[in-house]
């Protein structure tokens, strides 16, 4: 259950960071934002290969460490501004971890969403953890 909550929390954090990430890495308008819409979760492709799922597990481990580290820092932040700055740092580090694991953000978010909504994907990921 804890893994499920972690995946959901991180996925939502990255979805929320999407506009900021899009500004850092602008794409032509015809390619779209590249971020999945939570309302479209039921229509996404859930046929992930084993390598993608192994990469997701690797990224998830790094993200859990970052989340734990930054949650403590954010709770101790003296101001809303400092908390937002720390959240942006954490998001940047999470993006780096995901990319270093060999995934792009949309694929990571798709797997995280599928993990929470598709038992078949959840079982495959859990077997790799």
pLDDT at residue number 62: 93
* Count of C-beta atoms within a 10 Å radius of residue 49: 8
pLDDT of 78-90, one tens digit each? 888 998 999 999 9
pLDDT at residue number 38: 43
pLDDT at residue number 10: 52
Q: Which stretches of the chain drop beneath a pLDDT of 70?
A: 1-45
pLDDT at residue number 46: 77
Q: What is the rounded distance in angstroms from the CA atom of residue 71 to the CA atom of residue 64?
A: 10
Q: Is residue 106 part of a domain?
A: yes
What pTM was computed for the model?
0.66
Domain that holds residue 121: 2-15+47-128
pLDDT at residue number 40: 44
Q: Is residue 20 part of a domain?
A: no
Q: Is residue 39 part of a domain?
A: no
Q: Is residue 21 part of a domain?
A: no
Q: Is residue 63 part of a domain?
A: yes
Domain count, the chain: 1
């Amino acid at each position: 259950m804890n893994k499920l909550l972690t995946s959901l929390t991180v996925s939502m954090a990255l979805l929320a960071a999407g506009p900021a990430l899009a500004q850092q890495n602008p794409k032509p308008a015809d390619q779209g934002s590249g971020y999945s819409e939570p309302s479209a979760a039921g229509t996404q492709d859930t046929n992930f290969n084993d390598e993608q799922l192994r990469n997701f597990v690797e990224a998830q481990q790094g993200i859990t460490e970052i989340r734990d580290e930054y949650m403590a820092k954010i709770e101790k932040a003296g101001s809303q501004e400092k908390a937002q700055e720390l959240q942006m740092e954490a998001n940047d580090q999470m993006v780096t971890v995901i990319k270093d694991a060999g995934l792009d953000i949309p694929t990571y978010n798709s797997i995280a969403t599928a993990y929470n909504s598709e038992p078949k994907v959840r079982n495959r990921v859990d077997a790799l953890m």
